[in-house]
Amino acid sequence: MVERAQLIGENKDLIWSALKTTESFLAQKEWREVECRSCGSPFFAKSSYNLDSCGSYKCTGYEFLAEPKKKKTLSPQRLGSKISSHFISQGYQVAARLPIVNQTGSTLFTGTCGQVFDNAIFNEQEYKSSPLLAIQPVIRLQGKDLVGVTDGFSTSFVNIASEQMGASKEQHLQNLNTWLDSLSESGIYMGTISLVPVVGTPDWGGIKPTGLTLRINYLGLELGVSNYFPAIRQDSRDTLKMSDISFGLERLAWALSKTPSYFDVLGPLDRSAVEEYRKMDRIRTITLMLASHVTPSNKDRGSKLRSLAKDPSVGDKVDLELIEYYYNWWSNFIDLPASLTETVNGIRAEIYRNKNAGIQNKTGIKDIPLDIPTEEYLQQLLLRNPDIGYVKRLFLEK
């Protein structure tokens, strides 16, 4: 496992204590320490199963797809409801959904359930220490280039997590135990799970808490992470302790259904059948952004939206069916402030803009607005050059 000498920083003693408490807790639950046959990394596995891999994708590939399939699988929506019922029965309160446009902290978008405590962490506001269950649509663009290349990645998904501020290490481990029970109840055999300990220091916009993480792997698929932060720095009060155990709901559904592709879980099936994965992802995330009142622009959030809209996979026609599908999909998990019509019009405007920009690059004429319908743009070009054949060629060659 992690050696004490490897730990650095002012909180190394707290991290070491959390690690030793974790080892003791898992031993009591019949988890043993194992070394990965491929990479040599230490991990915890159930004693009753001869698991010899850390369960990372690089070591095993997606071995879980070869496991027996369940006769009856759950959609992400139904799986979320099942997990919610389990946690509510254990006394957890359901956290209010956060808006996609993040207003606190250092991120442009809500990217994790843990941001439910942003006001406590960044503004040092009061908080409740009771455990929460959060189900939160999130946007993470860091892995956008992996979409359609390595299965299991998307730029937006539903993060489902238990969150507890002020949690002792023992309370954190009880939260972890509740999760392992819930996963088992949902149909994931604990003998196929690897718990990989890692010590890290994420950067939360100036606040850099050292935490103990257990990566929760299922035969090649990382389902989620269990994070314990024993000392989050504060200026006007004592440091905070935080338990944060989160999963990708769609990944959990994929782990259970074992469909050929992750995008079969996201749907629609007529698009995943022809492997339009990148287009599905881009339209899915753009829909969530526009439905959350993100305004396209050349900076901040708007530039991220605009970058996705420029992806060639989006195409040059409005895919109304796909937009409507994802608008309804997201509506199962969050109240969307913009209407479907507003969302469609927003995507249409970006497609017009991209078409017009391509023509502008050929003509060099910059005094025609880009944010107008392409037909209107072409008509304005005709006023400058009445050769209709030339204008039509510009459109076709863009």
Cis peptide bond prior to 197, omega within 30° of 0: no
Residue 337: band (very low, low, confident or very high) from pLDDT cuts 50, 70, 90:
very high
- Among residues 8, 291, 71, 258, which one has the least CA distance to residue 152? 258
Residue 6: band (very low, low, confident or very high) from pLDDT cuts 50, 70, 90:
low
Q: Coil, strand, or helix at residue 288?
A: helix
- The predicted model gives 105-126 an average pLDDT of 94
Does the pLDDT value for residue 398 go beyond 60? no
Q: How far apart are CA 67 and CA 393, in angstroms?
A: 54
Rg, C-alpha atoms of the chain = 24
- The predicted model gives 279-297 an average pLDDT of 97
- Among residues 140, 131, 239, 121, which one has the least CA distance to residue 176? 131
What are 257's two structure tokens?
């259904």
Domains of the chain: 4-260 (3.30.930.10), 267-397 (no CATH)
Whether 257 contacts 66, CB under 8 Å? no
Express each pLDDT in 255-268 by its tens digit: 999 999 999 999 99
Q: How far apart are CA 154 and CA 140, in angstroms?
A: 8
What are 217's two structure tokens?
């792997």
Query: Would you state the pLDDT for residue 8?
Result: 57
Amino acid in the structure at residue 38: S
Give the global pTM. Answer: 0.94
- Among residues 283, 277, 376, which one has the least CA distance to residue 324? 283
Q: How far apart are CA 99 and CA 369, in angstroms?
A: 32
What mean pLDDT, rounded, does the chain reach? 94
Express each pLDDT in 199-231 by its tens digit: 999 999 889 999 999 999 999 999 999 999 999
Strand 156-165 and strand 211-218: the pairing is unpaired
